[in-house]
């Protein structure tokens, strides 16, 4: 779903008017990513959690896979694994992800699509390249974002929300930039996902030298991650792979594309303010709850993703 030209112009005008009366959040820190491997051994670039930033309440993790061009047989994914106590967002930019989980959901996330999985009380799922992509290879690029759940929702029944690219609103500017609003509201549009915690997730593709402003809700933690290219965030340089953590004060963040432009991930969320105890695929409030999660998984109470891989 894309706004009409009128909607785009209105959103841009609204943002410009807001800029004249709102204050800009400064950049509190610029942090480099860690590099690691996940799943079946695919490399990821991770702005957090790191030793410098364990989490950004309510966000627990951002992993970037690629962009990398793979040959036939080189694509890897994540076989059956459990989650409990939080939500995962899988955003596919290039390539694809075939998923299956212990609630019986199966499907494929195509380029531009998003799967929002609320693990809640516990789910086992897999996320693998399709047989077609594995056979032919191609460009692979995706993001995995983890969002914590408050204690009151950690026992919720697992839920999967899937949206294709046509269902996620995009606002475009005359200068060639685009803003894909996955969750929350920005630039006059609202993302299609029902979230347990108020969050804003925007993929900002900035043209070289183009400027834009995104709203930051009061009291929300916020950050900007450079997926590719370079940019300026509230006047401070941000290079490929770096994370700009924003300060607490201000109602907007100002973004400017660098010499080749940039693909940026903007995150803002209302902090939960509860203890975070994590162990691998589980995020709870106490060590006892973590131990129980491992016991439940070992005993099979979280189920199995199961079933033969489905071909597209």
By the 8 A CB rule, do 141 and 95 touch? yes
Taken in order 270, 274, 278, 283, is the CA torsion positive or negative? negative
Question: What's the farthest any 2 CA atoms get from each other in the chain?
Answer: 58
Size (the chain), residues: 312
Return left, alpha or beta for 40; rule: phi > 0 is left, psi -120 to 50 is alpha, else beta: alpha
User: What are the residue ranges spanned by the domains of the chain?
Assistant: 1-31+168-270, 36-166
- Give φ, ψ of 52 to 5 degrees: -85, -30
Which stretches of 129-284 are assigned E, i.e. beta strand?
138-148, 159-163, 170-172, 178-183, 185-186, 189-190, 199-206, 211-215, 221-233, 236-238, 243-246, 252-269, 277-279, 282-284
Q: What is the pTM of this model?
A: 0.90
Q: pLDDT truncated to tens, each residue of the chain (312 aa)?
A: 344 333 343 344 344 434 435 799 999 999 999 998 887 778 899 999 999 999 999 999 999 999 999 999 999 999 999 999 999 999 999 999 999 999 999 999 999 999 999 999 999 999 999 999 999 999 999 999 999 999 999 999 999 999 999 999 999 999 999 999 999 999 999 999 999 999 999 999 999 999 999 999 999 999 999 999 999 999 999 999 999 999 999 999 999 999 999 999 999 999 999 999 999 999 999 999 999 999 999 999 988 775 434 333
pLDDT score recorded for residue 311: 37
Which stretches of 10-77 are assigned E, i.e. beta strand?
27-31, 34-38, 42-48, 59-70
By the 8 A CB rule, do 211 and 179 touch? no
By the 8 A CB rule, do 92 and 168 touch? no
In terms of Cβ atoms closer than 10 Å to its own Cβ (0-12, 13-18, 19+), residue 211 is middle
pLDDT score recorded for residue 242: 98
The structure tokens 């006892």 sit at 288
- Alpha-carbon dihedral of residues 130, 70, 45, 28, nearest 10 degrees? -100
CA distance 62 to 265: 10
Q: Which residues contact 241 (CB under 8 A, 6 or more apart)?
A: 32, 33, 45, 47, 226
Instruction: Please give the CATH architecture assigned to the domain spanning 36-166.
Output: Sandwich (2.60)
> What tokens does 101 get?
């989980």
| Fold equal for 1-31+168-270 and 36-166 | yes
Question: Hey, what CATH topology would domain 1-31+168-270 get?
Answer: Jelly Rolls (2.60.120)
| β-sheet bridge partners, residue 106 | 100
pLDDT score recorded for residue 19: 41
């Amino acid at each position: 779903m894309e706004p009409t030209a009128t909607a785009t112009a209105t959103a841009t005008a609204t943002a410009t008017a807001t800029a004249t009366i709102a204050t800009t959040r400064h950049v509190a820190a610029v942090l480099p990513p860690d590099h690691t491997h996940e799943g079946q051994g695919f490399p990821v670039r991770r702005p957090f959690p790191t030793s410098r930033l364990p989490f950004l309440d309510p966000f627990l993790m951002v992993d970037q896979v690629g962009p990398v061009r793979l040959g036939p047989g080189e694509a890897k994914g994540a076989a059956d694994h459990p989650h409990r106590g939080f939500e995962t967002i899988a955003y596919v930019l290039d390539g694809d992800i075939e998923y299956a989980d212990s609630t019986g959901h199966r499907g494929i996330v195509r380029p531009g699509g998003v799967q929002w999985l609320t693990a809640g009380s516990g789910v086992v799922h897999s996320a693998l390249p399709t047989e077609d992509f594995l056979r032919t290879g191609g460009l692979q690029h995706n993001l995995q974002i983890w969002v914590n759940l408050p204690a009151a929702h950690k026992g919720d029944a697992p839920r999967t929300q899937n949206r294709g690219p046509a269902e996620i609103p995009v606002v475009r500017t005359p200068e060639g930039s685009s803003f894909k609003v996955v969750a929350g509201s920005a630039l006059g549009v609202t993302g299609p996902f029902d979230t347990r915690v108020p969050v804003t997730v925007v993929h900002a593709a900035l043209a070289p030298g183009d400027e834009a402003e995104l709203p930051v809700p009061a009291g929300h933690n916020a950050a900007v991650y450079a997926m590719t290219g370079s940019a300026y965030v509230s006047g401070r340089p941000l290079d490929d792979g770096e994370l700009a953590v924003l300060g607490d004060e201000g109602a907007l963040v100002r973004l400017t594309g660098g010499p080749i432009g940039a693909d940026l991930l903007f995150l803002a969320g209302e902090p939960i303010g509860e203890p975070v105890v994590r162990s691998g695929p589980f995020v709870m409030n106490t060590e006892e709850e973590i131990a129980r999660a491992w016991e439940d998984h070992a005993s099979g109470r979280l189920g199995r993703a199961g079933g033969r891989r489905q071909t597209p």
